Amino acid sequence: MDCTMVTSRVAAFLDGALASSESERFVLHIEACSPCSQIVVEIEAQRFVPLTVEQREDICGREKFWNDMDSVLCTHMEQMVIAKTACLGPWHRRQVGMPMPMVMAYAAAMLMAVAWGVQQRDRALVAEVASEHLGQDLESERRLAAQPAAEQSRESTYKVVNYTPQRGTF
């Protein structure tokens, strides 16, 4: 089963309407193909709640909706196009009120943005811990380096001097 086949059967798969052999091949494909498995996950999460005509016009008619979408999408559009074009079957026209590729691209872009943010935060935490650790290392090394010097200077300050005045010197 290829990507086109799989994407045309997502809805049937989720409805449990595929024959068992077909469903098996479907699962085999999505286990190996991350764009397709992503689509299945997204569709399953949304479960096709169809919008009424009024809702659709209310959402899509607002200029802010499209401006937001444009600004998010232009960053990720290239990957989106590559990842999604192979997998756009007729299924999205079946029960959905909104232009599904746009919604999915939008959702995927948001997910990517969130994941990126989390990654950056984790990286920052790791870096912070690492620099703290490095700071401690430097501090202990500095102390180690300072110790012999301190001992040396103490020794030279309190150096025992054997001075025996000789008779007749004074």
Interaction site with Zn ion (CB under 5 A): 3, 33, 36
Asked whether the beta carbons of 44 and 10 are under 8 A apart, the reply is: no
For the CB of residue 81, give the shortest distance to Zn ion in the complex, in Å. 16
For the CB of residue 133, give the shortest distance to Zn ion in the complex, in Å. 44
CB of 90 or CB of 135, closer to Zn ion: 90
CB of 29 or CB of 109, closer to Zn ion: 29
Rounded CA-CA distance 106/66 in Å is 11
For the CB of residue 30, give the shortest distance to Zn ion in the complex, in Å. 7
Rounded CA-CA distance 22/8 in Å is 12
CB of 1 or CB of 107, closer to Zn ion: 1
SS (H, E, C) the chain: CCHHHHHHCHHHHHCCCCCHHHHHHHHHHHHHCHHHHHHHHHHHHHCCCCCCHHHHHHHHHCHHHHHHHHHHHHHHHHHHHHHHHCCCCHHHHCCCCCCHHHHHHHHHHHHHHHHHHHHHHHHHHHHHHHHHHHHHHHHHHHHHHHHHHHHHHHHHHCCCCCCCCCCCCC
For the CB of residue 143, give the shortest distance to Zn ion in the complex, in Å. 59
For the CB of residue 108, give the shortest distance to Zn ion in the complex, in Å. 15
CB of 10 or CB of 36, closer to Zn ion: 36
CB of 88 or CB of 98, closer to Zn ion: 88
